[in-house]
């Protein structure tokens, strides 16, 4: 079975998780969604000695609000600081890509979405694992969303298929734009 990976790239609030959900609900092979940030969130929660450190999404709704659990930082600031100041320094810029590739290699799903893509060096280990012909990237744009408070950015890999989509319509139209863009992507 050839695994297919769809990377979802965009700033906070652009609709990356929504896109992953819409792709899962579309008439495509069964899929699962993974994130580069999963290990960094878990490790950060452990470092701050939080209860239930493996609840990755516990702070999702308030990740830009200063929090005493993170000694006054926002959860986003703590995650970025731990990622950039520790993990990447110790293990290299592609550490989360290598960790995600290892996880993808163990998954039984044919289609995997990755809804927090923001660095070229992170996607390369995944591309190396599944092959460039088995990868697709969406750059998701939405009025009012930006990378101003994030270390990620829009990425333009030249080795895989990619396209830009705008999430400023209904969910049905957004899903249609996503699936139409995948028309030429070989799911066999």
Give the whole-angstrom CA distance, residue 33 versus residue 111.
9
Write the CATH number of the domain with boundaries 4-38+95-181.
Answer: 3.40.50.300
Q: Which residue has the higher pLDDT, 95 or 12?
A: 95
Instruction: Name the phi and psi angles at 166, rounded to 5.
Output: -115, 125
Domain locations in the chain as residue ranges: 4-38+95-181, 43-91
Q: Which residue has the higher pLDDT, 23 or 60?
A: 23
Q: Is the pLDDT of residue 120 over 70?
A: yes
Say if residues 159 and 127 touch (Cβ distance below 8 Å): yes
- Quote the pLDDT of residue 160: 95
Give the whole-angstrom CA distance, residue 158 versus residue 146.
23
Token pair for residue 111?
A: 């289609």
- Quote the pLDDT of residue 150: 80
Q: What is the pLDDT of residues 126-175, one digit of tens each?
A: 999 999 999 999 999 999 999 987 888 999 999 999 999 999 999 999 99
pLDDT tier at 178, thresholds 50, 70, 90: very high
Q: Which of 52-56, 57-61, 152-156 is predicted least confidently? A: 52-56
Q: What is the pLDDT of residues 62-106, one digit of tens each?
A: 888 999 999 999 999 999 999 999 999 999 999 999 999 999 999
Say if residues 9 and 138 touch (Cβ distance below 8 Å): yes
Neighbouring residues of 5: CB distance < 8 A, sequence distance ≥ 6: 104, 111, 112, 113, 114, 126, 127, 130, 134, 135, 136
């Amino acid at each position: 079975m050839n695994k297919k990976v769809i990377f979802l790239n965009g700033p906070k609030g652009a609709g990356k998780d929504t896109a992953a959900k819409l792709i899962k609900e579309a008439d495509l092979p069964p899929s699962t969604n993974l994130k580069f940030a999963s290990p960094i969130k878990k490790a950060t929660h452990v470092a701050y000695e939080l209860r239930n450190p493996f609840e990755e999404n516990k702070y999702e709704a308030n990740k830009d609000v200063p929090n005493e659990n993170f000694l006054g930082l926002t959860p986003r600031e703590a995650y970025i600081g731990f990622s950039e100041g520790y993990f990447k320094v110790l293990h290299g810029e592609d550490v989360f890509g290598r960790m995600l590739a290892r996880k993808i290699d163990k998954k039984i799903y044919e289609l995997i979405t990755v809804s927090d893509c923001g660095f070229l060096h992170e996607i390369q280990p995944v591309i190396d694992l599944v092959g460039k012909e088995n990868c697709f990237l969406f750059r998701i744009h939405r009025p009012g969303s930006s990378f101003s408070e994030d270390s990620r950015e829009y990425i333009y890999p030249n080795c895989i298929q990619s396209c830009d989509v705008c999430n400023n319509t209904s969910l049905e139209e957004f899903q249609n734009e996503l699936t139409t863009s995948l028309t030429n992507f070989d799911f066999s």
